[in-house]
Amino acid sequence: MTSHPAVDALLGRSNRLGSDPRTTNYAGGNTSAKGSTTDPVTGGTVDLLWVKGSGGDLGTLTEDGLAVLRLDRLRALKAVYPGVEREDEMVAAFDHCLYGKGGAAPSIDTAMHGLVDAAHVDHLHPDSGIALACAADGEKLTAECFGDTVVWVPWRRPGFQLGLDIAAVKEAHPQALGCVLGGHGITAWGNTSEECERNALHIIRTAETFLAERGRPEPFGRVVEGYAPLPEEERRERAAALAPHIRAIASRDRPQVGHFTDTDAVLDFVSRAEHPRLAALGTSCPDHFLRTKVRPLVLDLPADAPLDAAVARLRELHAAYREEYAAYYRRHATDGSPAMRGADPVIVLVPGVGMFSFGKDKQTARVAGEFYVNAINVMRGAEAVSAYAPIEESEKFRIEYWELEEAKLRRMPKPKPLATRVALVTGAASGIGKAIAHRLVAEGACVVVADLNGENAEAVAEELGGPDKAVAVTVDVTDEQQIAAAFREAVLAFGGVDLVVNNAGISLSRPLLETTARDWDLQHAVMGRGSFLVSREAARIMIDQKLGGDIVYIASKNAVFAGPNNIAYSATKADQAHQVRLLAAELGEHGIRVNGVNPDGVVRGSGIFAAGWGAQRAATYGIEEEKLGEFYAQRTLLKREVLPEHVANAVFALTGGDLTHTTGLHVPVDAGVAAAFLR
Ligand code: NAD
């Protein structure tokens, strides 16, 4: 129960509408309700408007996401409205209409909701409605589809004037239940919440049926030879091979996280003859192009072109894309326009393979891809019944570089230190690796939890926040093929890899005469060979990506000063420590920094200790196993127990942005063991 029955109805309706992607795109559209309540100041009745505030998503809307305004004051703005040239000033005026604490910040669409004379209003971005809105003869088609029950409103940028236009349309057409907004979306209204929802759904479903029944087959043209989808496995392999190169392209101005999609809608679009023409026309609904940029970059080679040729062509197309974007900016920018924000594409289409989309984090990258799929649906619908005719480029520029959009960007919180970085942590399903994964996600990174124990890795990825933050891959780091596959999964999940932590480990601690050749081999296979193979695969991707990178080895105090009776473990730790020096020297020219952390005595949370090593070490030192942490602490200069989080702190210190000029370093995290001092 919320503060008012109208709000209950509004939230229920919004959540239903927002949870169906056919009804509106993610975070797109807004809904409202009007109602009266008792003013606590006067004791009289006051009429209010509850409307979805700026940002937020209808599917998950709660009362906190609503702006609350006094209707009399909002409507009084008509008297002071200075005209369409200065309509942006009205957004600041909305703040003077807020009721009580006002709730969420009112969005640009507040005027539409307040000025239309209906108790409930829904403004939505359904693909079917936008298809009619973007058809060359959309006005005629809207009339054919709906008769006089849905009215055509020519394109106008969202704002106060559009609100006045829609209010006038409703007044002039008392029989209408809503309108199609040219180039943009739909608005429906009703006297009750049920009526409004029914009207919105009626417009959406009727448009869907109209497009399906009236539409010609194959609106995107024939399938072009060589552009049909590759078989699934080949497609994903190709996508993984291209991903680091494409991320390099999308990250020239600033690093981006990537998302890959190969849904049927995308594969079909890029296989057909009309896709280059349509993609070049750009998206139309403001919500779409604000997320996808006006145009995608489209590779114009068949799916089976040699990889080198595809990469070379992508680079040429990128150079052209940047020039064209700068020219678009120059064509439309005025003295007051915000500075150009970056000229790299957000959407990259690869025939036969799929679509790569990019953003400042995984969610933004994923949603950009979803919006381009919406745009494909819109183009299909519009081309099926007419010709796709998006809004003018100059209008798109006005919205992309609108001062109100710029203000929204300025309000964004400062990015976290590891934002946009993709990390892969081996052995992250337990102990130290798990603590590292937690810290990296907390600092803004996307993390691939790579572990032999797939079930535990899944659980860790889940506790880290699910696929927009972390994914799990099952991998045995002793196996070259499995490592390659794990990195393929990583780049398909997040676009690439920037930060790799060689943490997977086991410990078979035995005196020399009891150490079998198998012990030795296994110990070295997991840590020496495993981290070599992981680093090699990581370096391949990082070099292609051209974004530098970090490789961190979780070696050990034993790499420097070995405890007794663990020849195999300590020798392979020394091997890892030397890999740090060798790779720091070799990979420096690519901006890849390689450093190590030397922990000691991390008993709590460690599977290694729980699985016998603890008992063995305790026996070696002649103490009880549960006293081992304390025992290690007493051996240290600081007399402090080392926890997994302390090792994770060191990984963050090395990779978080303060030590940009440090490579080849080992950081002891051992609470002070003089014998292991590095010199
Ligand atoms: P842990 O056993 O808790 O975690 C190790 C993880 O590595 C496990 O999830 C395990 O499934 C995984 N793993 C093992 N073999 C693998 C393989 N072949 N492929 C992929 N994953 C594999 O151990 P921990 O104490 O957290 O140790 C992590 C790292 O820190 C190890 O390299 C260890 O040598 C090093 N280290 C630990 C200590 C300590 O005191 N715990 C001290 C110094 C160094």
**Dist. CA 383–CA 399, nearest whole Å:** 25
Instruction: Determine which of 95-104, 373-382, 394-403, 577-586 has the lowest per-residue pLDDT on average.
Output: 394-403
Mean pLDDT of the region 47-67: 94
**Nearest to 593, CA basis, from 646, 530, 667:** 667
CA of 506 to the centre of ligand 1 (A): 5
DSSP states along 627-660: GHHHHHHHHSSS-----HHHHHHHHHHHHSSS-T
Tell me what pLDDT residue 288 has: 83
Which residue's CA is the nearest one to ligand 1's atom 10?
Answer: 427
Buried b (16+ CB within 10 A) or exposed e, 515-529: beeebbebbbbbbbb
- Sign of the CA dihedral running 330, 332, 334, 336: negative
Give me the residue label for tokens 């509408």: 17
Give me the residue label for tokens 């676009």: 495
Give kind and range of the element (H or E) at residue 207.
helix 193-214
Ligand 1 atom nearest residue 632's Cα: 40
- Mutate which of 432, 453, 646 for ligand 1 pocket (most atoms within 8 A of beta carbon): 432
CA of 182 to the centre of ligand 1 (A): 59
Ligand 1 atom nearest residue 569's Cα: 34
Ligand 1 atom nearest residue 453's Cα: 11
Ligand 1 atom nearest residue 476's Cα: 19
Which residue's CA is the nearest one to ligand 1's atom 44?
Answer: 556
The number of residues making up the chain comes to 679
Tell me what pLDDT residue 152 has: 97
Tell me what pLDDT residue 355 has: 98
CA of 492 to the centre of ligand 1 (A): 26
CA angle 473, 475, 481 (to 5 degrees): 115
Mean pLDDT of the region 44-51: 97
Q: What does pTM read for this prediction?
A: 0.94
DSSP strand E in 347-477: where? 347-350, 354-359, 422-426, 446-451, 470-474
Q: How confident is the model at residue 563 (pLDDT cuts 50, 70, 90)?
A: confident
| 569 classed as catalytic | yes
**Nearest to 400, CA basis, from 324, 289, 296:** 289
Instruction: Determine which of 87-91, 254-258, 272-276, 635-639 has the lowest per-residue pLDDT on average.
Output: 87-91
CATH topology of domain 232-410: L-fuculose-1-phosphate Aldolase (3.40.225)
CA of 501 to the centre of ligand 1 (A): 12
CA of 596 to the centre of ligand 1 (A): 15
Instruction: Determine which of 496-500, 620-624, 638-642 has the lowest per-residue pLDDT on average.
Output: 620-624
CA of 434 to the centre of ligand 1 (A): 10
Percent of the chain with pLDDT over 70: 100
Q: How confident is the model at residue 409 (pLDDT cuts 50, 70, 90)?
A: confident
Q: How confident is the model at residue 24 (pLDDT cuts 50, 70, 90)?
A: confident
CA of 502 to the centre of ligand 1 (A): 9
pLDDT at 546 over 80: yes
Give kind and range of the element (H or E) at residue 173.
none
Phi, psi of 37, rounded to the nearest 5 degrees = -150, 175
pLDDT at 404 over 80: no
Ligand 1 atom nearest residue 647's Cα: 30
Residue scoring higher pLDDT (407 or 367): 367
Mean pLDDT of the region 228-243: 98
Which residue's CA is the nearest one to ligand 1's atom 1?
Answer: 607
Give me the residue label for tokens 């970056």: 342
Tell me what pLDDT residue 289 has: 86
CA of 656 to the centre of ligand 1 (A): 23
**Nearest to 114, CA basis, from 90, 133, 130:** 90
**Dist. CA 108–CA 130, nearest whole Å:** 19
pLDDT at 229 over 80: yes
- Mutate which of 606, 640, 643, 673 for ligand 1 pocket (most atoms within 8 A of beta carbon): 606
pLDDT at 621 over 90: no
Give me the residue label for tokens 């971005």: 125
Ligand 1 atom nearest residue 599's Cα: 43
Tell me what pLDDT residue 266 has: 98
Which residue's CA is the nearest one to ligand 1's atom 17?
Answer: 476
* All CATH 3.40.50.720 domain ranges in the chain, comma separated: 422-602+642-676
326 in helix, strand or coil? helix
Which residue's CA is the nearest one to ligand 1's atom 34?
Answer: 505
pLDDT at 267 over 70: yes
Ligand 1 atom nearest residue 478's Cα: 18
Q: What residue type is 56 in one-letter code?
A: G
Tell me what pLDDT residue 51 has: 97
CA of 421 to the centre of ligand 1 (A): 23
CA of 507 to the centre of ligand 1 (A): 8
**Dist. CA 154–CA 34, nearest whole Å:** 26
Q: How confident is the model at residue 412 (pLDDT cuts 50, 70, 90)?
A: confident
Cβ count within 10 A of residue 83: 8
Which residue's CA is the nearest one to ligand 1's atom 39?
Answer: 602
* All CATH 3.40.225.10 domain ranges in the chain, comma separated: 5-214, 232-410
pLDDT at 1 over 70: no
Q: What is the pLDDT of residues 569-606, one digit of tens each?
A: 999 999 999 999 999 999 999 999 999 999 999 999 88
Partner residues linked to 323 by β-bridges:
none
Contact 162, 112 (CB under 8 A): yes
Mean pLDDT of the region 128-148: 97
Pairing relationship of beta strands 120-124 and 30-38 according to DSSP bridges:
antiparallel
For residue 109, CA distances in Å to 64, 235, 256, 655 come to 18, 42, 30, 43
Mean pLDDT of the region 456-477: 98
For residue 431, CA distances in Å to 420, 428, 609 come to 25, 7, 10
Which residue's CA is the nearest one to ligand 1's atom 25?
Answer: 606
Q: What is the pLDDT of residues 605-615, one digit of tens each?
A: 888 888 887 88
Q: How confident is the model at residue 28 (pLDDT cuts 50, 70, 90)?
A: confident
Pull the structure tokens for residue 417: 């230190």
Mean residue pLDDT of the chain comes to: 95
pLDDT at 624 over 80: yes
Q: Which residues form ligand 1's pocket by a CB distance below 6 Å?
A: 426-427, 429-433, 451-453, 475-478, 503-506, 526, 530, 554, 556, 599-602, 606-609
CATH number of 422-602+642-676: 3.40.50.720
Pairing relationship of beta strands 347-350 and 150-153 according to DSSP bridges:
unpaired
Contacts of 79 (CB under 8 A, 6+ apart): none
Ligand 1 atom nearest residue 608's Cα: 2
Buried b (16+ CB within 10 A) or exposed e, 172-208: eeeebbbbbbbbbbbbbbbeebebbbebbbbbbebbb
- Mutate which of 608, 647, 666, 667 for ligand 1 pocket (most atoms within 8 A of beta carbon): 608
Q: What residue type is 514 in one-letter code?
A: E
Q: Which of 329, 569, 621, 632 is catalytic?
A: 569
Q: What is the pLDDT of residues 665-679, one digit of tens each?
A: 999 999 999 999 987
- Mutate which of 456, 481, 503, 603 for ligand 1 pocket (most atoms within 8 A of beta carbon): 503
CATH class of 5-214: alpha beta
CA of 65 to the centre of ligand 1 (A): 44
Contact 353, 184 (CB under 8 A): no
- Mutate which of 506, 527, 532 for ligand 1 pocket (most atoms within 8 A of beta carbon): 506
Which residue's CA is the nearest one to ligand 1's atom 19?
Answer: 476
> Would you put residue 431 in left (φ > 0), alpha (ψ -120 to 50) or beta?
left
Angle between helix 530-545 and 567-587 (nearest 10):
20
DSSP conformational letter for 610: I
Which residue's CA is the nearest one to ligand 1's atom 32?
Answer: 505
